[in-house]
Copies of this chain bind each other. A is one copy, B any other.
Amino acid sequence: MPGSSFGRFLTVGTFGESHGVAVGAVADGIPPGLEISEADVQKELDRRRPGQSDLTTPRKEADRVAFLSGVFEGKTTGTPMAMMLRNTNVRSSDYGEIVDKFRPGHADYTYLQKYGFRDWRRSGRASGRETAARVAAGAVARKWLSEKGVVILAYVKAAAGIECTSFDAGVIERNPMRACDMAAAEKMELRVRELIEMGDSAGGLIECRVNGLPPGLGDPVFDKLEADLGKAVLSIGAVRGFEIGAGFAAAGMTGSEHNDAMDSDGFLSNNAGGIIGGISTGQELIFRAAVKPTSSISVPQTTRNLDGDTVEIRTEGRHDPIICPRIVPVVEAMAALVLMDHWLGQRALRGREPGA
């Protein structure tokens, strides 16, 4: 299994480069009978799509999904579901100086080291565009989980140095930052516009909450639920950190502060973030991801070219000053894939629905 597939009971493989013919996903293991349409998937893709606001790259990609297999008469058949998004905005002429210079923060140098091969059409598989395929597959998992009562919600918790201090689920899709606090969102926007002016970029923090999960999902050893979620989220290009529940703050707590007590009604706190011993508790699952600032900036940077010379580079053109708002649906998608995978695994183990 050489690196482009994910999951054990629900397996998703993605294919495609940012500047090739298409990107796509094949999801195998989806149970038969789920009602799903291209519109259901498109809805999620539109949240990841470039060009949603002036805070995202103006690159125009229709990101129109087409189902190639696995659905018949509006329902999944139980066989692999292939989905494809043709690349429509592939301008081979606009590569310019990146053809022979390694862009700082990008995978140009490491790709060459790994493959011994230079795909000068920007980032190939390392492009954020690959995540469109994940969102497509995740949309199916999300719909399946939603029919089980599971609700997944991610949002920007901090960006460009500004933190949300309140949480209102209702505002998330109503501000271009996808922040959970409208006042903070406005400050973030202002700061991001300043960075655009400077040709620079910003990072941020994404939080994800999952409600309606039954207890008992996850494995006690390597495939702990938080380990699989961590891998899933850390496999998203710009993510540099992952924490569950109290997370890094737990390192500074005492056991009596951190332990979640129970009584006859259930848990009295949730420092664990909904997972103990690798297995879901049935509480709200809550985790966070640290997102680095976008690597493509137009500030001049020092780098090296293919000949090994020191050169200057300015990454002109279309790029996101902050990628967080577009990563929100990717985080949700990856969470959905992990949770559905473990749900199916638990069905294999017990022969019935978890929590039943």
Copies assembled: 4
Most chain B Cβ neighbours within 10 Å, of A10, A21, A72, A242: A242
Would you list which residues of chain A between 55 and 110 have a CB under 8 Å from chain B?
A: 66-70, 72, 75, 77-82, 84, 102, 104-107, 109-110
* Chain B neighbourhood of A150, CB < 8 A: none
* Chain B neighbourhood of A35, CB < 8 A: none
Which single residue of chain B is at the shortest CB-CB distance from A264?
B310
- A169 CB-CB contact with B under 8 Å: no
Is the Cβ of B80 less than 8 Å from the Cβ of A13? Answer: yes
A348 to B126 CA separation, bound complex (whole angstroms):
21
Contact of A28 among B3, B67, B255, B344 (CB under 8 A): B3
Is the Cβ of B251 less than 8 Å from the Cβ of A126? Answer: no
A282 to B102 CA separation, bound complex (whole angstroms):
15
Contact of A106 among B130, B276, B296, B345 (CB under 8 A): B276
Chain A contact-residue range equals 35 or more
Known: A31-B349, A109-B276, A158-B252. 13 other contacts (CB 8 A): A3-B222, A5-B28, A17-B72, A29-B348, A29-B349, A32-B116, A80-B125, A228-B231, A240-B247, A240-B273, A241-B247, A264-B308, A348-B348
Contact of A241 among B242, B277, B296, B353 (CB under 8 A): B242
* Chain B neighbourhood of A201, CB < 8 A: 254-256
- A257 CB-CB contact with B under 8 Å: yes
Which single residue of chain B is at the shortest CB-CB distance from A241?
B243
Contact of A295 among B219, B249, B255, B304 (CB under 8 A): B255
Q: What mask results when residues 217 to 247 of chain A are scored 1 for a CB within 8 Å of chain B, else 0?
A: 1111111101110111011010011111111
A280 to B344 CA separation, bound complex (whole angstroms):
21
